[in-house]
Amino acid sequence: MSILLPIPADRRIRRMAQLFPGLALYGFSTALLVRANLGLDPWDVFHQGAAERTGFSIGVVTIAVSALVLLLWIPIRQRPGFGTISNGILVGVFMDASLHIVDAPETLAVRYGFLAAGILLNGLATGLYIGAGLGPGPRDGLMTGLARRGRSIRVVRTSIEVSVLALGWLLGGSVGVGTVAYALSIGPLAHVLIPALTVGESTLSGRPEDHEGN
């Protein structure tokens, strides 16, 4: 049996054409949120805090955490897809690349503009890569895998994200109005954009409401 879930046979070109731009846009949109410096989503608060403590870039930390999270898929018998592995590697690469070309804005108004654009583009990116039907991101897959063992996806998601948010804050990650804005906005955005961008009837991506991040 293959370690990876099979790639759906239908519309493969369309799926790939959504997956890679989606991952690039996810990395870019996260870079905008970092540059806004108004607060990040829970996982990126943790990534940023760990990056500050270790001296590695936030992109490298994101890749390393993805690898560690994927190891946690083994005991819960969760199989990754091609999109899962691509997500685990490329989001961090695109994040670091974007941070090299996007400077921090000097005015508060532009910072809020970065925040709004980052959240909206992050929602679009989520719709693109999840809708491609090639597998959830490492963190989403951990949550859905645990939920399949009899726990509510909301309880699992909240427990994990509160934990990584608290740890990230203790490590020095950015928590603020952007964290709240992201939490309130990404669910409704994903609810609209994932179904709109879903290709075919693939079962790899799970339910739209289960995927609101990477």
Distance between CA 200 and CA 190 in Å, rounded?
Answer: 17
Distance between CA 16 and CA 82 in Å, rounded?
Answer: 10
**Given a cut of 60, is residue 192 above it in pLDDT?**
yes
pLDDT band with cut points at 50, 70 and 90 for residue 102: very high
The pLDDT of residue 57:
98
Q: Give the pLDDT confidence of 108-144 residue by residue, as tens digits.
A: 999 999 999 999 999 999 999 999 999 999 999 998 8
In this structure, of 84-88, 136-140, 149-153, the range with the lowest mean pLDDT score is 149-153
Q: Is 25 exposed, middle or buried (0-12, 13-18, 19+ CB in 10 A)?
A: buried
**Given a cut of 60, is residue 202 above it in pLDDT?**
no
The pLDDT of residue 209:
46
Average pLDDT value for the chain: 91
**Given a cut of 80, is residue 183 above it in pLDDT?**
yes
Q: Is 150 exposed, middle or buried (0-12, 13-18, 19+ CB in 10 A)?
A: exposed
Contact between residue 104 and residue 32 where contact means Cβ atoms under 8 Å apart: no
More confident residue, 123 or 153: 123
pLDDT band with cut points at 50, 70 and 90 for residue 3: confident
**Given a cut of 90, is residue 166 above it in pLDDT?**
yes
More confident residue, 11 or 151: 11
**Given a cut of 90, is residue 2 above it in pLDDT?**
no
The pLDDT of residue 126:
94
Mean pLDDT, to the nearest integer, of 16-20? 96
Instruction: Write the DSSP string, 65-107.
Output: HHHHHHHHHTTTTPPP-HHHHHHHHHHHHHHHHHHHH-PPPSS
Distance between CA 136 and CA 73 in Å, rounded?
Answer: 12
Q: Give the pLDDT confidence of 21-76 residue by residue, as tens digits.
A: 999 999 999 999 999 999 999 999 999 999 999 999 999 999 999 999 999 999 98
Eight-class DSSP state of 132: T
> What residue segments make up the domains of the chain, in order of their start?
12-210
Q: Which residues contact 40 (CB under 8 A, 6 or more apart)?
A: 30, 33, 34, 48, 173, 174, 175, 178, 179, 182
Eight-class DSSP state of 198: -
Residue 4's nearest CA partner among 72, 64, 83, 99 is 83
Mean pLDDT, to the nearest integer, of 188-198? 93
In angstroms, how far apart are the furthest CA atoms of the chain? 54
* Stated pTM of the model: 0.91
